[in-house]
Amino acid sequence: MLLERLSTAFGPPGQEDEVREILRQEITPHVDKIWTDALGNLLAEKRGSVQGAPRVLLAAHMDEVALMVTHIDKNGYLRFRTMGGIDQRVLVSKLVLVGPQKVPGVIGSKAIHLLTPEEREKAFHLRDLYIDIGAGTREEAEALVSIGDGVVFNSSFCHLGDGRVRGKALDDRVGCSALVEILQRRYPVTLVAAFTVQEEVGLRGGRVVAFGEEIDLALVLEATTAFDVPDSKPHETVTCLGQGPALTIMDSTLIADPNLLTILRETALEQGIPYQLRRTGGGGTDGGAIHLTEGGVPTAVLAVPCRYLHSPASVIELNDYRHLVDLTDAFLAKFMERRTKLG
Ligand code: CO
């Protein structure tokens, strides 16, 4: 399963090489042109079947939230910082892989026997944590890893219950996998695919992908928070697993183009594809960067609801993923007839 290979691939911000290589191999047979830009974004073009048809940018980010090695001490322990939004309280005792060679390690801290009663009441802070890769000296550690190496969670990918999967980096490898599926088909419109870098550290790759490409509209394929868990209140759920892809109305970086949103909703209704609206305004995606490129790009975001986002183990429902692909597919197939709605 492509999603499993993408989920387990190593892709901290700025170190997306393994993910990019998997995607390059997957899409090369299906596109007319493929290139990598100066920031490392993987781009591809697939010409539409209609001459002069609109050019649609489809974007998904390759990077994942991660850690970065900042110091190697004389006893071979690694200190680190976070790359992107990681809750430092989830870090203690987690299994990790360090650097492109994927050196296994564990995030260590003072054991419970050594903590004072006050310390037991508090979460560990980043400064209390270190990565242990089994090295006894700085030299031993330096033979395996370097300062600047990215660090990702060492999580297995597995099926949960009936039709759900658990894995790391589903944000946004689900979007990458969906975009690969879309590129296997040809549409009346021309597709410009962008697998972006450095989204998790501030939508950086996404800022440049629409430049010079004469993009008429953009769809961002993402994973978004599902908070349908014990004790969450109905107005806090954001999205729920199993209710279809979530369409963003507004987040911290983007107000989705209302006409695109209407076309997406009409397409879903007509095709009988379930969807939900993303409820609450926080967070952001590459859409925030893309819609402000050049003279502005009408942009919408479709996202697979995902529990425990940015943690070592996120959970999605495969039907939501399937329906995201179906809705994107139907939107692209029908866009020419519906485009009169665009102002
Ligand atoms: Co994301």
- Sequence-distant (≥ 6) Cβ neighbours of residue 98 within 8 angstroms: 69, 78, 104, 105, 131, 133, 144, 145, 149, 151
Distance between alpha carbon 112 and the CA centroid of its chain, in Å? Answer: 35
- Prediction pTM value: 0.96
pLDDT of residue 113: 76
| Contact in structure between 46 and 29 (CB atoms under 8 Å) | no
Q: Could you say which of 26, 64, 181, 199 is catalytic?
A: 199
pLDDT of residue 81: 96
Token pair for residue 224? 């978004």
Q: SS3 for 142? A: helix
Which DSSP string corresponds to 5-45? HHHHS---TT--HHHHHHHHHHHGGG-SEEEE-TT--EEEE
Ligand 1 midpoint to CA 99 (Å): 21
Beta bridge partners of 59: 194, 220
| Contact in structure between 39 and 205 (CB atoms under 8 Å) | yes
Ligand 1 midpoint to CA 192 (Å): 19
Ligand 1 midpoint to CA 121 (Å): 32
pLDDT of residue 343: 54
Ligand 1 midpoint to CA 297 (Å): 20
Angle at alpha carbon of residue 62, lines to 252 and 101, rounded to 5°: 135
Cis peptide before 63 (omega within 30 of 0): no
Ligand 1 midpoint to CA 134 (Å): 32
Ligand 1 midpoint to CA 118 (Å): 36
Ligand 1 midpoint to CA 23 (Å): 17
Task: Render each residue's pLDDT in the chain as its tens digit; 343 residues.
Answer: 999 999 999 999 999 999 999 999 999 999 999 999 999 999 999 999 999 999 999 999 999 999 999 999 999 999 999 999 998 888 999 999 999 999 999 999 877 777 788 887 787 788 889 999 999 999 999 999 999 999 999 999 999 999 999 999 999 999 999 999 999 999 999 999 999 999 999 999 999 999 999 999 999 999 999 988 888 888 888 999 999 999 999 999 999 999 999 999 999 999 999 999 998 778 899 999 999 999 999 999 999 999 999 999 999 999 999 999 999 999 999 998 887 766 5
Strands of 158-160's sheet, edge to edge?
158-160, 164-167, 314-317
The answer to whether residue 26 is catalytic is no
pLDDT of residue 109: 86
| Contact in structure between 290 and 260 (CB atoms under 8 Å) | no
pLDDT of residue 103: 98
pLDDT of residue 280: 79
Domains of the chain are: 2-64+168-342 (3.40.630.10), 66-153 (2.40.30.40)
Ligand 1 midpoint to CA 224 (Å): 7
